[in-house]
Amino acid sequence: MKRNLGLFERVFRALLGATALVLALGSPSLGLSEAIVVVLGVFLLLNALTGRCYLWKLLGLNSAKDGSCSLDDNYGS
């Protein structure tokens, strides 16, 4: 899949994901709502690190200037 997140969106997702993890893991008890926030925070950090968002792909959105990084290429042919 080609990169579909621009630099600003990647930085924003990284900050939001890190903040979510710190707040959820810093709470005195880890309940269902905190666990959901942890999972969402991890997904946001993964989106930021890879520059790929499957929801954006399904919606046809692309905030990257160029989608030059592709994992769909056939390297064997």
Please tell me whether the overall predicted TM-score, pTM, comes out greater than 0.75 for this model.
yes
Residue that wins the pLDDT comparison between 2 and 70: 2
Q: What span, in angstroms and rounded, lies between the C-alpha atoms of 38 and 31?
A: 11
Amino acid sitting at position 9: E
Question: 25 in a domain, yes or no?
Answer: yes
Total structural domains in the chain?
Answer: 1
Q: What span, in angstroms and rounded, lies between the C-alpha atoms of 77 and 63?
A: 30
Question: 76 in a domain, yes or no?
Answer: no
Domain that holds residue 49: 7-59
Question: 65 in a domain, yes or no?
Answer: no
Question: 43 in a domain, yes or no?
Answer: yes
Q: What is the pLDDT of residues 42-75, one digit of tens each?
A: 999 999 999 999 999 999 999 988 655 555 544 4
- Give the pLDDT of residue 72: 53
Q: What span, in angstroms and rounded, lies between the C-alpha atoms of 7 and 11?
A: 6
Q: What span, in angstroms and rounded, lies between the C-alpha atoms of 70 and 3?
A: 7
Question: 21 in a domain, yes or no?
Answer: yes
- CA of residue 43 relative to chain centroid, distance: 5
- Give the pLDDT of residue 65: 82
- pLDDT confidence tier of residue 30, bands split at 50, 70 and 90: confident
